[in-house]
Chain A
Amino acid sequence: MSLSLELYRSRSRYLAAKAVGGRIPGALAGPIAPLRLVNRDEPRTPAAGWVRVRPRLAGICGSDLATLSGQSSFYFSPLVSMPFVPGHEVVGELLDDVAPAPDPGPDAPASRRDGLAAGTRVVLDPVLSCGARGVGPCRWCAEGQRSRCDRVTVGHVSPGLQTGYCADTGGGWGRRLVAHRDQLHAIPDTLPDKRAVLVEPLACAVHSVRRAGIEPGQSVVVVGAGTVGLFTLLALRSLTQAASVTVVAKHDRQRELAAAFGATDVVAPDRAVNALRRSSRAFLLHPERGTDFLLGGVDVAFEATGASSGLDLALRTVRAGGRVVLAGLPGARADLTPVWYRELELVGAYASGQSPERVSDFDTAIAMATEAPLDGVVSATYPLQRWREAIDHAFAAGRLGALKVTFAPQEE
């Protein structure tokens, strides 16, 4: 048996969370949470290539919170299988040896070529794509773009776009999970757990930045300064030659970190349009209803809040022909008129991938996690038994000056 936090189907709790969650966030960690601490059967390895993993730390992600609060789209409903153990930002320890892959391919990493020994610390690429599911590679998996996999509902395990949304694999918010060889990335001994747990969101940020196709000298705004926004900033500074990166940050701690991570300018949400107008020398217009917008503006915007106001701001401050990257899970509606009128490119960026040179975003992220000034980014760690406090803390992270809240599933 394995102690786990399990997210289960409950229409009443879902409706309650959706109705009051935004107004009373504390309730989401209390009576209306569709989450329970249970002893489940340990997940079983469904096929060859799968191994058991003992999570050491698992992050609470914005998408987890969106799911808990009923803000996620029903679009995902066929892409998950209930009940599941959440947690897809994981650093763990292998409980089994990982055999070398039968067909590693010429560019395969050492871990895939040579296998991994039990006891190795790994981080998890949560995407459950063709390789993990034991089906022939779809077009995207064949190209190495596993985040676009078309087969996430079939094969050896139940539907689930990722570990942490699949009923069969377990997740990081439990004491055991199973993972496929394709999902595992060994990490160096020099990388502590509190940095390693950030590799997955860093890899997503690397992917977002690659998707943005930023050219040298371009101006960028990152709307939001939670984990997604700040890691996007780190990736922008590491991988691009953007001339300026303005970060829209709501809370003091976020502002401090944005400045420390290399933002050219950090502005409050209510000042953002004016500040971007100033920096881009654009013209400012005031619609009869709704927020102000620019004619002119920055070249690229990253939406990293998941809120309609964040997307609205991004769409309204990008220049004509510019690009808006959805770096986080978009949770709400926005007025798409600027996309049409300003001929914007709206770009999605889900999970991670690889560079045109076929360098895995995870490898890039592991290097960044080693070098970037990430001390203190993991603000709090809770045992599973204190899950209500952990969830409450995560919901109020910005206000409380926290960034990433994690579970330490093996702790009591």
Chain B
Amino acid sequence: MSRPGFVLEVDERTPPLIVHRGEGFGLESFPLGTKVLYPPDSLPGIRDVGGAITAALDAPLDSEPLDELLTAGMALTIVFDDISIPLPQMVTPDIRQRVIEAVLERAAAAGVDDVELIAANALHRRMTPAELQRMVGERVFRSFWPDHLRNHDAEDPDGLTHIGETDQGETVEINRRAASSDLIVYVNVNLVPMSGGHKSVPVGLASYRSLRPHHNVHTLQRSRSFMDPPNSAMHHSYERMGTLLADSGVRVFTIETTLNNDTFPKEFAFLNKREWEWSLRDQASYLAAKRGNDLAPAGLRRKVWQRVASPYGVTGVNAGATGPVHERTLASIHRQQLVEVEGQSDVLVFGLPFICPYNVNSIMNPILVMCLGLGYYFNMYRNKPPVREGGTLILFHPTPWEFHQVHHPSYVDFFDEVLSETTDPATIETKFEQQYATDPWYIHLYRHSYAYHGVHPFYMWYWGAHAMEHLGDVILVGANRPAVARMGFRSASTFADALEMASDTVGRSPSITYLHSPPLTLADVR
């Protein structure tokens, strides 16, 4: 039996606590009375994952068993989540590989010849062949690549189908092959409550036109939070789109999987534990890892962190109709990540890790740092944010002024051109989004290189729009000062300095909450 989530109140006996700082970490002493939110202990993984997959496919929710949906002569498209989840990547075999192999075996048995596999990368960068192979496994890759295993192309004029408009006027346009298939099997990995459900097909296979209705400032500021789908305007839009797809005859068989919180491999096992429970071995590991990491050259350090593969356990496999499947998925995620906390505080603290959804095998540039802190982490709440309106957010991350030239070309221009003029999400959206979204060079790089779409940095900025509206101050500790200033935030050398700076906004004795993550923690704020 795993222990539930836990709120520690820092007292004299509390040891310094682990704080992630990008490609590094350290111990930090928190003021007395700080509330520290720990996720539940990692849930036990399913021992017989193959059996769980079989059971899910044989007895799906609100759907016929998969075997009954597969018939000779049909067109089957298997769509799967791209490299943006889970984070870090999981050790192989990836759960998607196991599910895809099971689906393919059944399709072969049913005599289905017309099978295509598509990564649901939406406007994310294409996955490289090596990345695809790692995800789907060598056997599937060898059988389908390159003609029948590919990335979704949201800018292929011949590869999209306009489905229609929702009752709110939202354009639904998805991958033509998927839309014209007799059956889409969507293979998902769910790490956070934002993912899965009707986000999978209507978003993962969408075009820019079809993303605009929900990937915008207005919707994001009304998604409180976007990690809490019932209260997320963005998810309401997804649902309307998913319903329209179903009403239009697009048949989706959803397979969702959930993972536990075994985020770090055994060399970094201490990062999965609560600090006062560290054994001598954990303490030695910490000292060795920290020393080695601090001494390593930046390039080597990045390489090592990017090679981290998480030994996640699979906690759930559910298949069938999208809605019921996703309900189970959310329940499983809540079991793993939810921690109840009483009331909001004046200051919220995050230690941002080395990885976010958009820098796998890449560089976490300043915009992604913002997105991870003010987007993903800030929204890891239900009911209300852990920090009060007008409060201060303190982030730990070095935030180097560094960009991956292949993956993030439009980010470079966004950072130089757009943010030097304004940081206001609404102004940015009005003045610049269209230019970037329709820039033929970015479109070319998205389609033929490995670049995120030209509009992607805008989405990253919008992701933080709710936090920007809510917070009175954002301070980054140990960050590159010019990069932080460009984004309109402040930087501090130390945590103590950050608290001193925050006193302008929240006074000298603020209440503080530290969301201890990763592993992922979802705050249920009462």
Q: A-side interface residues toward B, CB under 8 Å?
A: 271, 274-275, 277-278, 281-284
Residue A274 contacts which of B413, B435, B440, B444 (CB distance < 8 angstroms)? Answer: B413
Q: Does B416 contact A (CB under 8 A)?
A: yes
Q: Are B441 and A284 in contact (CB under 8 A)?
A: yes
Closest chain A residue to B418, Cβ basis? A278
B439 close to chain A: CB less than 8 A: yes
Contact present for B416 and A271 (CB under 8 Å): yes
Chain A's closest residue to B439 (CB) is A281
Contacting residues of chain B (406-456) with chain A, CB-CB under 8 angstroms? 412-413, 416-417, 435, 439-441, 444
CA of A277 to CA of B410, assembled, Å: 11
Since A274-B413, A275-B417 are in contact, a sample of 13 more A-B pairs with Cβ atoms closer than 8 Å, ordered by chain A residue number, is: A271-B416, A274-B412, A275-B413, A275-B416, A277-B441, A278-B413, A278-B417, A278-B435, A281-B439, A281-B441, A282-B441, A283-B444, A284-B441
Query: Interface 1/0s, chain B 310-336, versus A by CB < 8 A?
Result: 000000000000000000000000000
Instruction: Give the Cβ gap from A327 to chain B, nearest Cβ, in Å.
Output: 26
Cβ contacts under 8 Å, A283 to chain B: 440-441, 444
Taking CB as reference atom, which chain A residue is nearest B454? A278
Task: Give every chain B residue within 8 A of A278 (Cβ-Cβ).
Answer: 413, 417, 435, 439
Q: Which residue of B lies closest to A271 (CB)?
A: B416
The minimal Cβ–Cβ distance linking A250 to chain B, given in whole angstroms, is: 16
Write 20 A-B pairs (CB below 8 A) sorted by A numbering: A271-B416, A274-B412, A274-B413, A274-B416, A275-B413, A275-B416, A275-B417, A277-B441, A278-B413, A278-B417, A278-B435, A278-B439, A281-B439, A281-B440, A281-B441, A282-B441, A283-B440, A283-B441, A283-B444, A284-B441
Complex Cα gap A278–B432 (Å) = 11
Cα separation A277 to B440 with both chains bound (whole Å): 10
Chain B residues near A282 (CB-CB < 8 A)? 441
Q: How far apart are the CA atoms of A347 and B280 in the complex, in Å? A: 76
Minimal Cβ-Cβ distance residue in A for B435: A278
Q: How far is the CB of B228 from chain A (nearest CB, A)?
A: 37
Q: For A265, give the chain B residue with the smallest CB separation.
A: B417
Bound complex: CA A284 to CA B435 (Å): 16
In the complex, what residue of chain B is closest to A283 when comparing beta carbons?
A: B441
Name the distance in Å between B75's Cβ and chain A's nearest Cβ: 36
Most B C-beta atoms less than 10 A away, residue of A275, A278, A281, A282: A278
Q: Which A residues touch B435, using CB under 8 A?
A: 278
Closest to A268 in B: B416
A278–B457 Cα distance when bound, in Å, is 15
In the complex, what distance in Å separates the CA atom of A31 from the CA atom of B461? Answer: 56
Q: What band does the interface of chain B fall in when counting residues whose beta carbon is under 8 Å from A?
A: under 10
* Complex: A390 Cα to B416 Cα, angstroms: 36
Question: How far is A284 from B440 in the complex, measured between Cα atoms in Å?
Answer: 11
Q: How far is the CB of B208 from chain A (nearest CB, A)?
A: 16
Give the nearest-CB partner of A295 in chain B.
Answer: B441
In the complex formed, the residue of B with least CB distance to A278 is B413
Name the residue on A nearest B410 (C-beta). A278
Per the bound structure, the CA–CA distance linking A283 and B417 in Å amounts to 18
Residues of B with C-beta under 8 A to A277 = 441
Q: Nearest Cβ distance between residue A310 and chain B, in whole angstroms? A: 20
In the assembled complex, the Cα of A283 lies from the Cα of B441 at a distance in Å of 5
Q: Which residue of A lies closest to B440 (CB)?
A: A281
B415 CB to nearest A CB, Å: 11
Task: Report the bound CA distance from A284 to B439 in whole Å.
Answer: 12
Q: Which residues of A lie under 8 Å from residue B417 when comparing CB positions?
A: 275, 278
Q: Residue on B with the closest CB to A275?
A: B417
**Residue of B417, B440, B444 most packed against chain A (CB within 10 A):** B417
Interface centre among B416, B439, B444 (most CB of A within 10 A): B416
Residues of the A chain whose Cβ atoms lie less than 8 Å from the Cβ of B412: 274
Give Cα A274 to B415, complex, Å.
12
Distance, CA A274 to CA B413, complexed state (A): 7
- Kindly state the separation between the CA atoms of A295 and B441 in the bound complex, as whole angstroms: 10
Determine how close the nearest CB of chain B comes to the CB of A385; give it in whole angstroms: 44
Which residue of B has the minimal Cβ distance to A274?
A: B413
In whole angstroms, what is the CA distance A89 to B245 when docked? 73
B441: chain A residues at CB < 8 Å are 277, 281-284
Query: With a CB–CB cut-off of 8 A, which chain A residues contact B416?
Result: 271, 274-275
Closest to B414 in A: A278
Complex CA distance for A281 and B439, rounded to whole angstroms: 6
Q: In the bound complex, how far is the Cα of B416 from the Cα of A311, in angstroms?
A: 24
Residues of B within 8 A of A271 (CB): 416
- Minimum CB–CB distance for A304 against chain B, Å: 23
C-alpha spacing A271/B418, complex, angstroms: 13
- Encode B376-419 as 1/0 by CB contact (under 8 A) with A: 00000000000000000000000000000000000011001100
CB distance from B194 to the nearest CB of A (A): 31
Instruction: Tell me the bound Cα distance from A282 to B413 in angstroms.
Output: 14
Tell me the complex Cα distance, A284–B444, Å: 11
* A3→B189 CA distance, assembly (Å): 85
A275: B residues at CB distance < 8 A: 413, 416-417
A268 to B428: give the CA distance in the assembly, Å: 22
Question: Which residues on B sit within 8 Å (CB–CB) of A274?
Answer: 412-413, 416
The answer for the CA separation of A275 and B412 in the assembled complex, in Å, is 10
**Chain A proximity of B417: nearest CB distance (Å):** 6
Q: How far is the CA of A284 from the CA of B413 in the complex (A)?
A: 13
| Chain B residues in 8 Å Cβ range of A281 | 439-441
Nearest CB in chain A: distance from B440 CB, A: 6
Q: Which one of B413, B416, B439, B441 has the greatest number of beta carbons of chain A within 10 Å?
A: B441
CB contacts (< 8 Å) of A284 on chain B: these are 441
- Interface flags for B481-506 (1: CB within 8 Å of A; 0: not) read 00000000000000000000000000
B443 to chain A, nearest CB (A): 10
Taking the nearest CB of chain A, how far is it from the CB of B416, in angstroms? 6
Complex alpha-carbon distance, A271 and B444, angstroms: 21
Complex alpha-carbon distance, A59 and B444, angstroms: 49
Q: How far is the CA of A271 from the CA of B417 in the complex (A)?
A: 9
- Complex formed: what's the CA distance from A271 to B441 in Å? 17
Instruction: Looking at the assembled complex, report how far the CB atom of A176 sits from the nearest CB atom of chain B, in whole angstroms.
Output: 51
Contact with A along B30-63 (1 / 0, CB 8 A): 0000000000000000000000000000000000
How far is A282 from B412 in the complex, measured between Cα atoms in Å?
16
A294 to chain B, nearest CB (A): 9
> In the bound complex, what is the Cα–Cα distance between A281 and B412 (angstroms)?
15
Q: Please report the C-alpha to C-alpha distance between residue A284 and residue B412 in the assembled complex, in whole angstroms.
A: 14
Q: How far is the CB of B437 from chain A (nearest CB, A)?
A: 12
- Docked pose: A278 CA to B439 CA in angstroms: 8
Task: Give the CA-CA distance A274 to B411 in the complex, in Å.
Answer: 12
Query: Once bound together, how far apart are the Cα atoms of A284 and B442, in whole Å?
Result: 10
| Closest Cβ–Cβ distance, residue A292 to chain B (whole Å) | 11
The complex places the Cα of A275 from the Cα of B440 at a distance, in Å, of 15
Closest to B405 in A: A286
Q: How far is the CA of A277 from the CA of B439 in the complex (A)?
A: 10
3 nearest A-B residue pairs (beta carbon): A283-B441, A278-B413, A281-B439
Q: How far is the CB of A409 from chain B (nearest CB, A)?
A: 44
Minimum distance in angstroms from B449 CB to a CB of chain A:
11
CA distance A278 to B438 in the complex (A): 11
Distance in Å: Cβ of A264 to nearest Cβ of chain B = 12
Whole-angstrom distance between the Cβ of B413 and the nearest chain A Cβ: 5
A230 CB, min distance to chain B CBs, angstroms: 21
How long is the Cα–Cα vector from A283 to B449 in the complex, in angstroms? 13
When distances are taken between beta carbons in the complex, the residues of chain A under 8 Å from B444 are 283
- Complex: chain A residue closest to B441, CB-CB: A283
Whole-angstrom distance between the Cβ of A40 and the nearest chain B Cβ = 52
Q: Which of B120-179 contact A (CB under 8 A)?
A: none
CB distance from A298 to the nearest CB of B (A): 15
Q: Closest approach, in angstroms, between the C-beta of B447 and any C-beta of chain A?
A: 13
> In angstroms, how far is the closest chain A Cβ from the Cβ of B109?
48
Give CA–CA (A283, B435) in the complex, Å: 14
Q: How far is the CB of B271 from chain A (nearest CB, A)?
A: 38
How many Å from the CB of B239 to the closest CB on chain A?
Answer: 36
In the bound assembly, the distance between CA atoms of A278 and B415 in angstroms comes to 13
Whole-angstrom CA separation of A274 from B445 in the bound complex: 14
In the bound complex, what is the Cα–Cα distance between A271 and B440 (angstroms)? 19
Contact with A along B222-261 (1 / 0, CB 8 A): 0000000000000000000000000000000000000000
Query: What distance in Å separates the Cβ of A121 from its nearest Cβ neighbour in chain B?
Result: 44
